Amino acid sequence: MERRFDYPKAAPGTYRAMLGLERYLRDCSVEQPLLHLIKMRASQINGCAFCLDMHSKDLRAGGEEEHRIYLLDAWREASCYSERERSALAWTEALTKITDGHVPDDVYQHVREHFDEEEISDLSLAVVVINGWNRLQIASRAPEGQYQPPRRETAAA
């Protein structure tokens, strides 16, 4: 597919606003590996090739085990995810598929067992942000495959 438009160039304010939300999420109350999992899961649901490429690479660069990346679409059946991760993934799916009946009470109760209010707020923002990125990338037909994760800095010896 050919890229339709380059929104960072066409509307740099939009891009800067989204990056500002990402900067907040880098230091939020939810651990980064879990944020990458939920970004990957929302991108699977939305079918965003650009974001799937990006987040699979980010997960690998962060040390995520390959089988956990491969099994993410079947997280309910896979035994390799913790209850905290399962509650976050259920929350991610409920917010991403909001037209399927909003967020069910049982999903909220499950997430409340594993996250405090600040964490639920940050988790919710992360879902909102990845859904926004997915929509921008899908609308513009951003090509997948070119993203390279930032290099991890090594500690000085």
Q: What average pLDDT does the segment 31-45 reach? A: 97
Q: How far apart are CA 93 and CA 127, in angstroms?
A: 9
Q: Half-sphere exposure of residue 132, counting CA atoms within 13 Å on the CB side?
A: 14
Residue 156's pLDDT is: 45
Question: Which pLDDT belongs to residue 153?
Answer: 55
Q: What is the pLDDT of residues 91-120, one digit of tens each?
A: 999 999 999 889 999 999 999 999 999 999
pLDDT at 149 over 80: yes
Q: Model-level pTM?
A: 0.90
Distance CA 27, CA 65 (A): 23
Average pLDDT over residues 14-28: 96
Cα 144-95-50 angle, rounded to 5 deg: 0
Lowest mean pLDDT among 10-14, 70-74, 94-98: 10-14
Between 101 and 39, name the one with better pLDDT.
Answer: 39
Domain boundaries, the chain: 10-140
Q: Has domain 10-140 been given CATH number 3.40.50.1000? A: no
